[in-house]
Amino acid sequence: MAGSAKTAALRFLKLRPRSVSELKEKLEDKGFAAAEIETAVHDLTASGLLNDRAFTKAFINYRLARPFGFRRIILELKEKGIDGEIIGQAITEARENCSPENIALDLARRRWQRMPDIDAQKKKKRVLDFLLRRGFEADIAMKVIGELK
């Protein structure tokens, strides 16, 4: 039966990359026994098809391209069962390669332009709320709002 758990796991991974925790949860939901799940996960990890570090890097790059702030990305990774140490290392690398201030400013300017007939104070509040929902730190969001005109 371990082959069927592995087959199901491969089908899940074919749809999109997943963390180890996500894959285990999906297999449990399908009714596979814990021993079968562990065997399938071990085999996929050993073959390199299941890798939390690679998943985390790809996920961060995907979410930064959307764009989202690091706070939200970290929260989403924790929800996917990624270890805090892996998240910390990947976020540190990502922060070296991009500037959250520039990303937030670009996003805020685009949002600002979509509201031409609204009072400036209301627009600032809406853009600030939008940036915070997107996961940007409050100090970055406030700095960006101060630069909008």
Express each pLDDT in 68-113 by its tens digit.
Answer: 999 999 999 999 999 999 999 999 999 998 889 999 999 999 999 9
d(CA 109, CA 124): 11
Express each pLDDT in 112-146 by its tens digit.
Answer: 999 988 998 999 999 999 999 999 999 999 999 99
**pTM (predicted TM-score):** 0.85
Phi–psi pair at 16, nearest 5 degrees: -165, 155
Express each pLDDT in 40-75 by its tens digit.
Answer: 999 999 999 999 999 999 999 999 999 999 999 999
The topology (CATH level 3) of 52-97 is: Arc Repressor Mutant, subunit A (1.10.10)
What CATH number is given for 100-147 in this structure? 1.10.10
Q: Is 52 helix (H, G, I), strand (E, B) or coil?
A: helix
